[in-house]
Structure 1
Amino acid sequence: SKEEIALLKEVEDNKAKADTSKKKTPAKDSVVIDWDGLTLRKAKVTIHSSSMGDALVSKDGETLYYLARFERGMNLWSTNLRTRETKMLVPLNAGFAAMSWDKDQKNIYISTDGSVIKLDPASSKQDRVSINGEMMVNTTAERQAMFDHVWRRTKKTFYTKTFHGIDWDSYKPDYDKYIPSIGNNYEFSEMLSELLGELNVSHSGSGYSGFNPSGDATASLGAFYDAAHKGNGVKILEIIKDGPLDKAGLNVEAGMIIESIDGEMITADKDLAQYLNRKSGKPTLLTIIDGTSKKEVTVKPISTGEENGLLYRRWVKRNADEVEKLSGGALGYVHIPGMNDGAFRTTYEEIMGKYFHKKGIVVDTRNNGGGDLVADLATFLSGKKFMEYGNDIRSNGYEPNFRWTKPSISIANEANYSDGHCYAYMVKEINVGKLVGMPVPGTCTFAGWEGLMDTGIRWGAPPVGVKANNGRYLENWQTEPDIKVMNEYEQVKKGVDQQLEAAVKELMKELK
């Protein structure tokens, strides 16, 4: 403890004062490692769990500095390794960050989202390091080098030597000849996608992303509008829950008309998006017509990404309510949008919490974009009860109490991708209930993405495939559902989800 260290230091100081005749000799090696039983002396040095980045230890070994992400960006934290005192040292909110000491271990240099910060951890003083330089680039030669790298790496690392039946070597000269004619990185990225597309494989291709800080960025008011409305303004058909218009005190309702935005009349010849361009998060004045009266309200529009999140939650709630109604309260519903930690936590919390007393669960994985969660879900959903606690009067629980032991049914569709396909395959392979929906394309393969030297270009081709127990690769081998149901366009327009209805009907049959 801190007190014990202070006491030990005081004892050593007293000894040194009592014997001043002896000349001190520096220790040859002040650090002595006891290797015996080293693996048994593990200790967690941080007090909380998070997504970790770089970590550094101070020169005196007293303080740990580390980059950690909890919900949003990465920030710099420090922990006193003796007292365990932990605090956020610098709020970076960075998408990416890395750090290292200077040669004297006095200052930390942090690379964060394209900039470099010099930090004095003792005072938390920050200085931004300016970097500037010019370089003459032979663009054609650079693109040739990048192209050669993509072709060569794919040749060396592609997951199967068959190359899906094509002669990979023969394609290089066919595409080489176009490189001198490439005009920009977007065109170059498109050409790489064409080349990699010859492989007929998932998790491949190339993309170019360039950030324009002054580019268009349409905001949203979080509402659906009546397309049949004539005249100026837009008529509200539905207000999305938790959106900008769904705030206490605004009293904005469906049927009202938004006549103008920041004093500019909304006319029929101009798209609504133009009035909301670059207004996300900014106070925006709306003129609302309510029957014969007008009023003005101020709101903060949200980004289209935030609106998509609200629409997703709206869709999930509608599905959950529909399952509750169709099953008479017997079944629960969860949607798994991706195969990641957050999705698993939400799924586990809802099934073992809100739906724990339901007789069965509908597991919807439609449009699942993948990740790496299939084994966890297979374990969780395939529980078999083997004992129960209780007495003659009541039950006090059962084992396994951390797995779902009741019936389930899964829904998948054509948009399940990567680990989303792995899930559909798993349901059929180990018989975790039935699979409802449409055939899932064979994309259960591991990605291998890489950024090229010219900023903004990202490409990939799968280095690892996934095989079934019979030795066949799952790539390009679609999984057929037990019950094939297509959501027909005319029914979707009416708000009918035929796949969801079929899943509920089938699971209720099993429960009888």
Structure 2
Amino acid sequence: DSCQAALTAEGELFCGLLGPSSGITGVERLTDTPGREGSPAWSPDGTMLAFTREHDGRSDLVLMGPADPDTGFVSGAHPAESVLPVEGGVAENPCWSPDGRYIAYLDRESRLRVMEVATRRDREICPVPGLLHVSWSPDSRWLAFSVTDLAHREDVFVVSASGGRHSNVSRHPNDDFQPFWPSDGRRLVFASRTDEGEWSLRQVWLTREDFGASRDEREELLDEPVAEVEIDFDDLARRTETLCTVEGYYDFYGASRDGRTFAFRAYDKNGGSDLWKVEWDGSGLERLTFASEEPSDISITSEGTVFYLGMGDVLRSVGSDGASPRVLTWRAMTDWVVTERQAQKFDECWRLLRDNFYDPGMHGADWDSVRVRYRDRASRCFLNEDFNEVVRRMLGELDASHLGIYGPWSWSRGAPTGEIGIIVDHSWGGPGVRVDSVIPWSPAGMPRSRLFPGDLVLSVDGVEVGPHRDIYEPLAGKVGEEVALEVRRNGALVSLTMEPIPDWELSDLAYDEWVARNRRIVSLLTGDRIGYLHISSMDQSSVETFLGDLFAEGMDRDGMIIDVRGNGGGSTHDQILRELSRPEYLVSRYRGGRLTAEPLGAWQKPVVLLINERCYSDAEIFPAGWKALGIGPIVGNTTFGAVIGTSDTELLDGTGFRVPSEGWYTLDGVDLENYGVQPDIRVLEMPADYAAGADRQLEEAARVVMRLVEGG
């Protein structure tokens, strides 16, 4: 809440003054090292900064200060810094205690530790690994944290600052995360979300007396902070209130120190996201921005100003009274040595995998030797793509999926090329371009501009096309613009106009036609007794499509083929498996005699699953669960064997890096990574089949499900 702002950019730490103007002034560079400084945290009195420094395979905890209380960190005379000794050489997410005596941090295994600043005494507070968010109580006697305890879902816990048993506060199947302790010491606030996209802000009252107070009495209580935080742990989770619920995901909120005002990211029906706020009692729910800001790193001052990073990581601020947002510009000089920067990036990649890869044995790789083998090569790469290629070779030593390095991306100014929806006959020698086939509902498939197999496209917007001039050349930059085609059809010249569409839209149309073709094949092979559906991705949209198709295609049919071939994965396997594995348990009968089985919509008829080597990740977990539950036969080929849960992070220059930290195993202990799921009936796809338009896997699935229907 002072006028000083700590900033990080290009791996260095800066400090500036927040003034009434539209920017941050007096910015000074506080660090100049080959390491990457980050996670700055102010001491309660504003005279010291704690931060991390990622370098040489370590993440040090650094303390800077004390600064002059009058001039702070922008006086030109930078305070001294010292590196605090931490367990295992790794410290992340430093957090000061309100009394300024301690710094909490997460160690190499993300266990909670506390260091006493004066004595450098370091101790473990909670032995649970994998902690994610930490907050001190205002009296510095308690720590709240969140950690995953049900797959990816977190719960909120409280532990004494001196260590001991930790207690679950949220006790809810939602993903409950980011605990925050307001300065009144009477409540604990946290975010909560569902996999379906509901995001809530909740608060739990720590004593029965405060929970039972009226709204007006609570208002008075918040003006009377407690000297010592008291927690009545009996039925604590039942004293939880929901302040608001919006559409959202794993997004973090900002809070005023007194916990009276909260700001957060929420989504609209078009998928855009903006900044919203709500008050401590659930009142005043209000949208603060309206330009799809995608806000992150949100904080609120005691005066009610909300600071956040908007679109493009631009620092912005807006008053909680709804005033127009303003951009906070700042400028400072920085420099670096390319070889040192590349070495830092490499060391960070190496350490992130050492500390987080799902297999502590690193798939048998000697990880220290791997670092020695590749570090010098990586540090000498002046081009980022060369650097990324060296890192990819290091990743190859792990023989694992869901690894990767990419970017940093640059904005492409190239105009997109339009698509009209024809498949070109490449055997044609000219003149023009001969149409082999047309994708339904594409521009070339619409009634007023329809092309037919055998048509010769001679020119597009006056530009002749043929074997020596690709048809896509005159379509460059023409998405959504009307183009004129000259076509020879059955010896006559025909003039047509149409509006090209983007490639992703054509891809969707081609997919729709592929699904429709498969349905026609299954209907023909089974006398229309078997339905067919394809699951293209393991995301929420695909779940909704699956539920609709299961009803529409399964209605009045005797069986079903479910196809996940070519599915790249996601996270919704359990939602689909629940619909396919629930047994009937009751039947309701209406007066007229109509019967309805419960559970509603659950599939009870014969079903076959189609898989192939292009099933990845969650599209492999799904057939593994299918097989374990005995839902039905599996036809096709072994899945790819890329089954690790992963997350993405950014290096200091914006390069993206993937860190897979969660393995998946059968109940017998078989690691699905590099193993995949085996079909019950193996049918290989051969190149000749594809060229002939045959689908032997689909044909076999139709035969198998018909045998089940007929009791064979």
Indicate how the Cα distance of structure 1 residues 411 and 43 shifts in structure 2: closer, same or farther if over 3 A, else same: same
Secondary structure, aligned partner of 2:513:
helix
How far does residue 145 in structure 1 lie from its aligned partner after superposition? 0.9
The answer on 1:292 being equivalent to 2:457 is no
How far does residue 77 in structure 1 lie from its aligned partner after superposition? 5.7
Contact 2:643 2:676 in 1 (8 A): no
Residue in structure 2 matched with residue 21 of structure 1 by the alignment: none
Indicate how the Cα distance of structure 1 residues 254 and 75 shifts in structure 2: closer, same or farther if over 3 A, else same: farther
Distance 1:346 1:398 in 2: 22
**Superposed CA offset, 1:73-101 (max 9, x none):** 32456789999998876443467756444
Indicate how the Cα distance of structure 1 residues 103 and 28 shifts in structure 2: closer, same or farther if over 3 A, else same: closer
**Superposed CA offset, 1:450-508 (max 9, x none):** 221122x2222422212222223222223221100012222222221111111111001
Point out the more displaced range, 167-176 or 216-225: 216-225
Aligned mate of 2:393, from 166, 181, 194? 194
Aligned mate of 1:505, from 693, 703, 707? 703
The answer on 1:492 being equivalent to 2:690 is yes
Residue in structure 2 matched with residue 468 of structure 1 by the alignment: 666
Contact 1:363 1:411 in 2 (8 A): yes
Secondary structure, aligned partner of 1:333:
strand
* 1:230-379 superposed matches below 5 A: 230-247=429-446, 249-290=448-489, 291-299=491-499, 301-379=500-578
Contact 1:53 1:98 in 2 (8 A): no
* TM-score, scaled to structure 2: 0.61
Residue in structure 2 matched with residue 483 of structure 1 by the alignment: 681
Secondary structure, aligned partner of 1:235:
strand
* 1:1-150 superposed matches below 5 A: 29-30=222-223, 39-40=238-239, 42-43=241-242, 45-46=244-245, 49=247, 51=249, 53=251, 66-76=265-275, 90-93=289-292, 99-101=298-300, 104-106=303-305, 109-119=308-318, 125-130=324-329, 133-150=332-349
Residue in structure 2 matched with residue 399 of structure 1 by the alignment: 598
Counterpart AA for 1:472: V
Indicate how the Cα distance of structure 1 residues 209 and 281 shifts in structure 2: closer, same or farther if over 3 A, else same: farther
Residue in structure 2 matched with residue 18 of structure 1 by the alignment: none
How far does residue 391 in structure 1 lie from its aligned partner after superposition? 6.5
Distance 1:413 1:216 in 2: 36
Secondary structure, aligned partner of 2:353:
helix
**Superposed CA offset, 1:190-238 (max 9, x none):** 1111101111111123223523422464332222122233334323333
Distance 2:640 2:260 in 1: 53
Counterpart AA for 1:256: D
Point out the more displaced range, 216-225 or 363-372: 216-225
Contact 1:427 1:434 in 2 (8 A): no
Residue in structure 2 matched with residue 17 of structure 1 by the alignment: none
Counterpart AA for 1:418: S
The answer on 1:218 being equivalent to 2:417 is yes
Contact 2:265 2:295 in 1 (8 A): no
Point out the more displaced range, 381-390 or 53-62: 53-62
**Superposed CA offset, 1:145-181 (max 9, x none):** 1111111222222222332222221111111221343
Distance 2:451 2:399 in 1: 51
Indicate how the Cα distance of structure 1 residues 389 and 123 shifts in structure 2: closer, same or farther if over 3 A, else same: closer
Counterpart AA for 1:405: Q
Distance 2:446 2:472 in 1: 22
How far does residue 396 in structure 1 lie from its aligned partner after superposition? 2.3
Distance 2:605 2:677 in 1: 24
The answer on 1:168 being equivalent to 2:363 is no
Residue in structure 1 matched with residue 16 of structure 2 by the alignment: none
Greater relative CO, 1 or 2 (CA 8 Å, sep 6+): 1
Aligned mate of 1:423, from 613, 618, 622? 622
Contact 1:96 1:113 in 2 (8 A): no
Point out the more displaced range, 320-329 or 403-412: 320-329
**Superposed CA offset, 1:240-264 (max 9, x none):** 2232334453344444333323332
How far does residue 108 in structure 1 lie from its aligned partner after superposition? 5.7
Distance 1:497 1:168 in 2: 44
Indicate how the Cα distance of structure 1 residues 235 and 87 shifts in structure 2: closer, same or farther if over 3 A, else same: farther
How far does residue 430 in structure 1 lie from its aligned partner after superposition? 2.1
Give the structure with the larger strand fraction: 2
The answer on 1:447 being equivalent to 2:646 is yes
How far does residue 407 in structure 1 lie from its aligned partner after superposition? 1.7
Distance 2:591 2:324 in 1: 68
Identity %: 23
Point out the more displaced range, 155-164 or 58-67: 58-67
Contact 2:289 2:325 in 1 (8 A): no
Distance 2:479 2:639 in 1: 37
Residue in structure 1 matched with residue 608 of structure 2 by the alignment: 409
How far does residue 510 in structure 1 lie from its aligned partner after superposition? 0.5
Indicate how the Cα distance of structure 1 residues 85 and 155 shifts in structure 2: closer, same or farther if over 3 A, else same: closer
Secondary structure, aligned partner of 2:584:
coil
Secondary structure, aligned partner of 1:178:
helix
Aligned residues: 484
Secondary structure, aligned partner of 1:441:
coil
Distance 1:240 1:86 in 2: 47
* 1:375-394 superposed matches below 5 A: 375-390=574-589, 394=593
Distance 1:179 1:74 in 2: 38
Distance 2:481 2:277 in 1: 35
Indicate how the Cα distance of structure 1 residues 214 and 288 shifts in structure 2: closer, same or farther if over 3 A, else same: same
**Superposed CA offset, 1:3-25 (max 9, x none):** xxxxxxxxxxxxxxxxxxxxxxx
Indicate how the Cα distance of structure 1 residues 244 and 53 shifts in structure 2: closer, same or farther if over 3 A, else same: farther
Contact 1:441 1:476 in 2 (8 A): yes
Indicate how the Cα distance of structure 1 residues 68 and 261 shifts in structure 2: closer, same or farther if over 3 A, else same: same
**Superposed CA offset, 1:262-313 (max 9, x none):** 33222432223332223333444434444423324141x2222222222222
How far does residue 384 in structure 1 lie from its aligned partner after superposition? 1.8
Distance 1:65 1:141 in 2: 37
Distance 1:327 1:338 in 2: 27
Contact 1:98 1:112 in 2 (8 A): no
Indicate how the Cα distance of structure 1 residues 408 and 99 shifts in structure 2: closer, same or farther if over 3 A, else same: same
Contact 2:308 2:315 in 1 (8 A): yes
Secondary structure, aligned partner of 1:125:
coil
Indicate how the Cα distance of structure 1 residues 479 and 117 shifts in structure 2: closer, same or farther if over 3 A, else same: same
Indicate how the Cα distance of structure 1 residues 337 and 302 shifts in structure 2: closer, same or farther if over 3 A, else same: same
Unaligned runs of 5+ in 1: 1-25
Distance 2:559 2:341 in 1: 58
Distance 1:251 1:121 in 2: 55
Contact 1:102 1:109 in 2 (8 A): no
How far does residue 68 in structure 1 lie from its aligned partner after superposition? 1.0
Distance 1:130 1:254 in 2: 58
Point out the more displaced range, 341-350 or 161-170: 161-170
How far does residue 52 in structure 1 lie from its aligned partner after superposition? 7.1
Distance 2:667 2:281 in 1: 51
Secondary structure, aligned partner of 1:45:
strand
Indicate how the Cα distance of structure 1 residues 106 and 449 shifts in structure 2: closer, same or farther if over 3 A, else same: closer
Contact 2:563 2:611 in 1 (8 A): yes
Secondary structure, aligned partner of 1:302:
coil
Contact 1:55 1:67 in 2 (8 A): no
Indicate how the Cα distance of structure 1 residues 234 and 129 shifts in structure 2: closer, same or farther if over 3 A, else same: farther
Distance 2:612 2:295 in 1: 34
Contact 1:62 1:82 in 2 (8 A): no
Point out the more displaced range, 51-60 or 304-313: 51-60
How far does residue 54 in structure 1 lie from its aligned partner after superposition? 5.3
How far does residue 386 in structure 1 lie from its aligned partner after superposition? 2.8
Indicate how the Cα distance of structure 1 residues 137 and 273 shifts in structure 2: closer, same or farther if over 3 A, else same: farther
Distance 2:224 2:449 in 1: 67
